[in-house]
Amino acid sequence: MNKAQLVEAIADKLGGRQQAALAVDIVLDAIIRATVAGERVSVTGFGSFEKVERPARYARNPQTGERVRVKKTAVPRFRAGQGFKDLVAGSKKLPKNDVAVKKAPKGSLSGGTAGKKAAAKKTTAKKSTTTRSATAKKAAAGKKAGAAKGTAAKKTTTARDTGAAKKATAKKTAKKASAKKTGAGNAPARKAAGRRTTAKRTATRSK
């Protein structure tokens, strides 16, 4: 069955060939555009269309056997749904008075606007997570900086107090040393004065 035959097959149900051709064109165009954009178009019971990236690789020319490098490319891929597979395999029978693929439940059809909305929601969620992590990192950095400043201030205060204590100790030591020197200098003078007094007393007695 080609496209013209497909249009003829649904023309009676859509009220004419023109309406059927328009419906087929619109459906195929929507599937193609969504797949090219990298979205996955899934129809429950029928299958899914998606874009697949193929990396660069080497292949062989079947005619010459020569090894040829194939560039990176993207190809469309269709995967049949389980309902479609069961009908083809014969495990399920085609309904006579009903469509083979029934109406999909709400939310099961992806691609197009629904796919874009879902992608937008994912992007927003990622941005929110990134913003939260960045805020948490800044807060942690601020706490570390504050802790470092507090430690530096404590070290500075301790150093100042230690310096002041050392200076006070040095002054006390100098005073003690000065007092010792003064006492040592006065001792000979006192001894000399005592000797002079003793000599005077002896001279007086001799007279």
Percent of the chain with pLDDT over 90: 39
Residue 35 has pLDDT above 70, yes or no: yes
User: What is the predicted pLDDT for the residue at 22?
Assistant: 95
- Residue ranges per structural domain of the chain: 3-55+71-136
Q: Looking at the domain 3-55+71-136, which fold is it?
A: HU Protein; Chain A (4.10.520)
Looking at residues 138-155, what average pLDDT do you find? 63
User: What is the predicted pLDDT for the residue at 101?
Assistant: 75
Q: 44: which residues sit within 8 A by CB, 6+ positions away?
A: 81, 83, 101, 104, 105, 108, 109
Most confident listed range (72-86, 133-147, 183-197) = 72-86
Q: How much is the mean pLDDT over the chain?
A: 76
* DSSP strands (E only) in 55-97: 57-60, 67-70, 73-80
Strands 73-80 and 67-70: unpaired
Residue 166 has pLDDT above 60, yes or no: yes
- Helical ranges in 37-103 per DSSP H: 82-89
CA dihedral sign of residues 62, 63, 64, 69: negative
